[in-house]
Amino acid sequence: MIRLEHVARVFTLGGTEVRALDDVSEHVEAGEHVAVMGPSGSGKSTLLNVVGCLDRPTSGRYLLDGREVGGLDDAALTAVRRHLIGFVFQSFHLVPRLTAAENVELPMTFAGIPRAERRARAAAGLDDVGLGARAEHRPAELSGGERQRVAIARAMVMRPRLLLADEPTGNLDSHSGRQVLDLLERLHRDGLTVLVVTHDPIVARRAERIVVMRDGRIAERLKPGALAAATGGGAT
């Protein structure tokens, strides 16, 4: 599903070259659930942006679902993001003036899907995350956990094959966080490929395997049990 071959991403800040990614090679199989950990500045978010086709590598090759995306133009990259990838962010990124249903409809609006189909798919998506009764509520009327579940419904409404989550429980209390993690696990069991960036060992231990980044490179590859032993915690 995801194949990175010697990928680098270099930025120039104030005349200084910063290697946010440095010779990263990794392969994520279709249907895997992988967590990416590392300290601030280790390259986690840059990696997610490259994988999500929001940024381009400076060098190296990136193949998504067998297709090299490095040479695609902006229109083709937009199509890849729209139809193959779903995104979930720490800050939800919901439109405040829209209802939950209208927020879920947004990707379909941009894709030109007819209104009746949009409404039906949005309703089904909210039912799937347990929020069918909250469809007409705006984000300010929802809890943080409910907002994140709306964001997941929106990410899934175009039926992607890959879900990218950037600190998906970072703004949530422990109960809401567990609900979101349970939902991500269910989507994974249904066949979705899930890649989660997190600093939280509790989140990482829910994945099948863990990639640890430092200084723009992959420093370790761990199984969840190894991380639990290293942090002294158990799975949730």
pLDDT digit string, tens, across residues 79-137:
999 999 999 999 999 999 999 999 999 999 999 999 999 999 999 999 999 999 999 99
- The answer to whether residue 136 is domain-embedded is no
Q: What is the pLDDT of residues 130-184, one digit of tens each?
A: 999 999 999 999 999 999 999 999 999 999 999 999 999 999 999 999 999 999 9
Assigned domain for 218 exists: yes
CA distance 168 to 152: 9
Domain that holds residue 195: 2-93+160-231
- Tell me, what's the pLDDT at 13? 87
In terms of C-beta distances under 8 Å and separation of at least 24 residues, what long-range contacts does 124-127 make, across chains too?
125/153, 125/154, 125/156, 125/157, 126/100, 126/101, 126/150, 126/153
CA 180 and chain centroid, separation: 13
Tell me, yes or no, whether 33 lies in a domain.
yes
Q: Which residues face 26 on adjacent strands?
A: 4
How many whole angstroms separate alpha carbon 21 and alpha carbon 55?
A: 12
29 occurs within a structural domain: yes
Note whether residue 77 is domain-resident.
Answer: yes
CA 146-195-229 angle, 5° bins? 95
Record the pTM: 0.91
Among candidate residues 202, 150, 153, the one with its CA nearest the CA of residue 173? 202
The CATH number of residue 65's host domain is 3.40.50.300
Q: 225: closest CA among 215, 217, 234, 213?
A: 234
Count of structural domains within the chain: 1
Residue 197 is assigned to a structural domain of this protein = yes
CA distance 158 to 85: 9
Nearest-angstrom CA–CA distance, 19 and 37: 18
52 belongs to a structural domain: yes
- Within a domain: residue 208? yes
